[in-house]
Amino acid sequence: MKISMKKKISSFIKIHISKIVLFFLGRGIQTLYQNDTIVHHEIENWKENFVIQITTENHDINWKIQKKNGKIIRAFGEKEDLSISFKSADILFRLVTGRLGVAQAYAQHRFLLKGEIREAMSFVRVIDRTEGYLFPKFMTKGILKEIPKREKSILEVYGRLLLQ
């Protein structure tokens, strides 16, 4: 099956934008773990060395974070405890750009979950809170049930995120 150049370029762009957003999402989680009591409490309930993976079925994107020594770090090669595998890079792109919510993606069977549902729900709560800080209101109002009340200013969070 021949894929058009336009589809190849579109796919390339979506994959790389998704990687960039996931990078900043990871940095946001790291920042909020240290600066937001709700995120901190949620992550404190994760076991030590807990690894979460977000990937696509064909592995165009393979993003991992790990709770280790009281920090959230990027993980490379470690076996994941929780894996969320999206059926395509397009679906993940729609999710990370605020055009698709996690609940809607789950209801539409757009990803596969490997791991405990309790741990996945905890991770989703952390993502929702992080998106509430990082995304503008026009994006979050379409994907979050309610926009979380922030404990820190957006500027402070972005400053810490960029200087980490």
> For residue 97, what pLDDT band results from cuts at 50, 70 and 90?
confident
Sheet holding 62-68, edge to edge: 71-74, 62-68, 51-56, 82-86, 111-114
Instruction: Give the torsion sign (CA, 97, 146, 28, 137).
Output: positive
Q: For residue 160, what pLDDT is reported?
A: 79
Mean pLDDT, range 51-78, rounded to an integer? 93
What is the rounded radius of gyration, in angstroms, for the C-alpha atoms of the chain?
16
**Which single residue is written with the structure tokens 């990027």?**
74
Helices (H) and strands (E) in the chain, counts: 7, 5
CB 32 within 8 A of CB 164: no
Q: For residue 18, what pLDDT is reported?
A: 94
> For residue 1, what pLDDT band results from cuts at 50, 70 and 90?
low
DSSP string covering 39-73, please?
Answer: HHHHHHTSPTT-EEEEEETT-S-EEEEEEETTEEE
Percent of the chain with pLDDT over 90: 57
**What amino acid occupies position 111?**
F
Mean pLDDT, range 149-158, rounded to an integer? 76
Q: For residue 142, what pLDDT is reported?
A: 66
To the question of pTM greater than 0.75 for the whole model, the response is yes
118-147 pLDDT, tens digit each: 999 999 999 988 888 887 777 676 667 777
Round to whole Å and give the CA distance between 131 and 137: 10
> For residue 36, what pLDDT band results from cuts at 50, 70 and 90?
very high
Specify the number of domains making up the chain: 1
Instruction: Give the domain extent around 156.
Output: 5-163
pLDDT of residue 3 exceeding 80: no
**Which single residue is written with the structure tokens 């998704």?**
18
Q: For residue 73, what pLDDT is reported?
A: 95
More confident site: 162 or 21: 21
| Distances from the Cα of 162 to the Cα of 26, 58, 156, angstroms | 12, 31, 10
CB 32 within 8 A of CB 133: yes
Give 66's strand partners: 51, 73
| CATH number, residue 101 | 3.30.1050.10
